[in-house]
């Protein structure tokens, strides 16, 4: 189906084009649900005429026939009121459309999303939580839009720390090391290695030699290294399962994967005449990047000791993703502090010719997670907060909240529901914040059943489903037609019809919070409707109409939540 928004936009566009090509109308849903069109003012400027004049010409030209009526407002806004028969047609089509009006993208793009990316033998911290949750939502949204998503979990599995980590593993013995890592005790493993490295010169020497052996591809060293990697990756997989994240083991393509490409990357850069030696290191100075003293800023490709770093790996990754994965879009869901790193990577990749103009490249940056004291979220003793512990705590709280309810659920059902609620709480709190902003991790607020929370939206969905349970009999929506006489019915209907543009407005700028805003608004429209319009006690056609609005609401909430990676249980 063509969404209501698209129908209006197409018709307005045709009228705009007849006045003068080049200017576009901008449509947005107004408070009460109908639409307002912007753009007359810039069109008027373009043709050098008074806006009112142009607005009147457009009103005369636009072919809205059965779709809507139009009025001029203010200096040249166009207010559109959708006609009842068109609303009815659109809603009836919506009933039969599993995609709720969202078109399938054509052509489909290859979208490579780099997200989660924790580091081997290190705890996943809350920053990784954000990357994981936002990245997974973007993956789901892109898949739903019809694109081909390739997830890349760029885990930190390479570099100098692996010398000391491997030596520590040797000291501990493989069995004990494996036990400690598989318990998810990653940070104390890392810290112990670090402490020895700093205190013990012999250990330091062994660690250095180990790095060399690792880079040289020594078999035994590689075997020990893969124990570290495998145990950590298995632990990460557990976290993903707990959080219901779609990342699969085969999406783990860590830094080490690009190792064999690095020499070639350097050669390419050299051939392009981009490499400069500076203090013994090989660097590229992309134009436009300077430090505080206004000196050109280098991207270090190969260090003095001949080792390659984080930047070289990311350059190789860009090249690989465009050349071998045929990426049309490269998204990096990584914290805001790495912004300059990515800007420089893109700039160098473009200079090197690895990144054609038509490949969209985006650092999907996000802000910090803060503790209740508004400082970086840390435990009292200053350690990183364990992701998995937070989720367990959220589950316990949700479970306790369910204990107090008369739900008729069995104990295992309650436990399952508690995990669903906990995930919703944590994910929604993250996704509903505009991603560039910091937010305070406040479990109490996140898990509340009231307010703009994940559990509230789940509850709103379950409440709609409960109407159908109380109905008892099977109900068939095919007879429903929509007169929408009560204002609350009409507002809910307009909210439902706005699903496609809400989805698009979230996906295009990679801002999942906009989908959250839409879903919360829809839930509120439903509440107003449900307060004003009895459903089960209505009769005949009115009951069918209201049930159909309920059905569409439940579907919009559950589809919307699923795109955010949040389950919508039928009963709560």
* Interface contacts to ligand ARG, rule CB under 6 A: 114, 117, 119, 154, 156, 314, 317, 332, 334
Query: What is the closest distance, in whole angstroms, from the C-beta atom of residue 120 to ligand ARG in the complex?
Result: 9
Give me 299's structure tokens.
């991207």
DSSP type of residue 449: S
**Residue (of 496, 480, 470) closest to 547 by Cα position:** 480
In the complex with ligand ARG, the residue whose CB is nearer, 211 or 331, is 331
Which of residues 117 and 213 has its CB atom nearest to ligand ARG in the complex?
A: 117
List the beta bridge partners of residue 423: none
- Supply the minimum distance, in Å, between the C-beta of residue 410 and ligand ARG: 41
Q: Which two tokens stand for residue 79?
A: 């207010």
Of 90 and 313, the one with the shorter C-beta distance to ligand ARG is 313
Query: Which residues contact residue 118 at a Cβ distance below 8 angstroms, ignoring those fewer than 6 apart?
Result: 124, 128, 155, 156, 232, 236
| Assigned token pair, 443 | 């479990």
CB-nearer residue toward ligand ARG: 314 or 430: 314
Shortest Å, Cβ 321 to ligand ARG: 10
Q: Is 392 exposed, middle or buried (0-12, 13-18, 19+ CB in 10 A)?
A: middle
Cβ 368 to ligand ARG shortest distance, Å: 13
Does residue 107 have a cis bond before it (omega within 30 degrees)?
A: yes
Q: Which is nearer to ligand ARG, 345 or 533 (CB)?
A: 345
Q: What's the closest the beta carbon of residue 118 comes to ligand ARG, in angstroms?
A: 6
Of 96, 68, 94, 95, the C-alpha closest to 8 is: 68
How near is the Cβ of 334 to ligand ARG at its closest, in Å? 4
Least CB distance to ligand ARG at residue 313 (A):
7
The widest CA-to-CA distance across the chain, in whole angstroms, is 86
C-alpha 292/C-alpha 408 separation (Å) is 64
Classify each residue of 195-219 as buried b or exposed e, where b means 16 or more C-beta atoms within 10 Å of its C-beta.
Answer: ebbeeeeebbebbeebbebbbeeee
Report, in Å, the least distance between residue 111 CB and ligand ARG.
15
Apex CA 193: angle with CA 191 and CA 197, to 5°? 115
Give the residue nearest to ligand ARG (CB): 117
Q: Which is nearer to ligand ARG, 109 or 154 (CB)?
A: 154
The answer to whether the CB of 34 falls within 8 A of the CB of 79 is: yes
Closer to ligand ARG by CB, 363 or 546: give it: 363
Indicate the residue among 352 and 549 with the shorter CB distance to ligand ARG.
Answer: 352
Shortest spacing between CB 72 and ligand ARG, in angstroms: 50
Q: Report whether 567 contacts 244 (CB < 8 A).
A: yes
CA distance 248 to 75: 54
Q: How far apart are the first and last CA of the chain?
A: 33
Q: How far is the CB of 140 from ligand ARG (least distance, A)?
A: 20
Determine what percent of the chain falls in helix, strand and coil, rounding each to the nearest 5.
Answer: 55, 10, 35
Report how far residue 552's alpha carbon sits from residue 493's, in angstroms, rounded to the nearest whole number: 9
- 458: nearest Cα among 352, 564, 384, 334: 564
Q: Which is nearer to ligand ARG, 119 or 142 (CB)?
A: 119
Closest to ligand ARG by CB, 156 vs 560, is: 156
């Amino acid at each position: 189906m063509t969404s209501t928004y698209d129908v209006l936009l197409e018709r307005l566009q045709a009228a705009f084009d007849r006045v003068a090509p080049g200017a576009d109308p901008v449509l947005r849903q107004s408070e009460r649900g109908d639409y307002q069109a912007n753009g007359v003012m810039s069109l008027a400027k373009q043709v050098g005429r008074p806006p009112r004049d142009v607005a009147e010409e457009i009103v005369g030209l636009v072919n809205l026939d059965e779709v809507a009526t139009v009025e001029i407002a203010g200096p040249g806004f166009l207010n559109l009121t959708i006609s009842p028969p068109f609303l009815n047609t659109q809603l009836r089509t919506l009933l039969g459309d599993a995609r709720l009006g969202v078109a399938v993208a054509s052509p489909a793009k290859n979208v490579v999303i780099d997200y989660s990316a924790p580091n081997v033998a290190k705890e996943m911290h809350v920053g990784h939580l954000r990357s994981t949750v936002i990245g997974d939502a973007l993956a789901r949204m892109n898949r739903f839009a019809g694109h081909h998503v390739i997830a890349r979990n760029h885990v930190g599995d390479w570099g100098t720390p692996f010398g000391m980590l491997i030596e520590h593993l040797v000291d501990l013995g493989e069995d004990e090391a494996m036990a400690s890592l598989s318990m998810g005790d990653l940070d104390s493993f890392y810290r112990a290695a670090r402490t020895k490295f700093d205190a013990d010169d012999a250990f330091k020497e062994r660690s250095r030699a180990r790095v060399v052996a690792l880079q040289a591809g020594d078999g035994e060293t590689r075997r020990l290294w893969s124990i570290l990697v495998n145990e950590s990756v298995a632990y990460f997989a557990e976290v993903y399962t707990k959080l219901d994240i779609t990342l699969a083991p085969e999406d783990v393509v860590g830094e080490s994967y690009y190792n064999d490409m690095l020499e070639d990357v350097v050669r390419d850069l050299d051939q392009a005449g981009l490499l400069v030696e500076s203090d013994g290191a090989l660097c590229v100075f992309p134009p436009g990047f300077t430090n505080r003293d206004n000196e050109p800023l280098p991207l270090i490709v190969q260090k003095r000791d001949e080792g390659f770093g984080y930047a070289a790996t990311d350059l190789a990754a860009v090249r690989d993703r465009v050349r071998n994965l045929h990426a049309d879009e490269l998204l990096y869901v990584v914290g805001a502090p790495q912004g300059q790193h990515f800007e420089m990577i893109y700039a160098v990749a473009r200079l090197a010719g690895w990144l054609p103009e038509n490949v969209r490249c985006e650092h999907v940056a996000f802000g910090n997670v803060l503790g209740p004291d508004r400082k970086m979220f840390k435990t009292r003793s200053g350690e990183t907060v364990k992701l998995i512990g937070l989720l367990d705590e959220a589950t316990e709280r949700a479970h306790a909240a369910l204990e107090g309810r008369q739900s008729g659920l069995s104990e295992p059902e309650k436990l399952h529901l508690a995990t669903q609620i906990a995930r919703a709480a944590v994910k929604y709190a993250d996704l509903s914040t505009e991603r560039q902003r910091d937010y305070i991790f406040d479990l109490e607020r996140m898990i509340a059943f009231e307010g703009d929370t994940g559990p509230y939206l789940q509850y709103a969905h379950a409440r709609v489903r409960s109407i159908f349970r109380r109905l008892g009999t099977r109900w068939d929506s095919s007879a429903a037609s929509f007169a929408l006489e009560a204002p609350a019915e009409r507002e809910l209907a307009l909210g439902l019809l706005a699903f496609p543009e809400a989805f698009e407005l979230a996906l295009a700028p990679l801002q999942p919070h906009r989908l959250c805003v839409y879903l919360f608004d829809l839930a509120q429209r439903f509440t107003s409707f449900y307060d004003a319009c009895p459903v089960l006690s209505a009769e005949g056609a009115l009951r069918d109409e209201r049930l159909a609005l309920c059905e569409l609401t439940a579907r919009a909430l559950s589809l919307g939540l699923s795109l955010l990676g949040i389950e919508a249980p039928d009963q709560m």
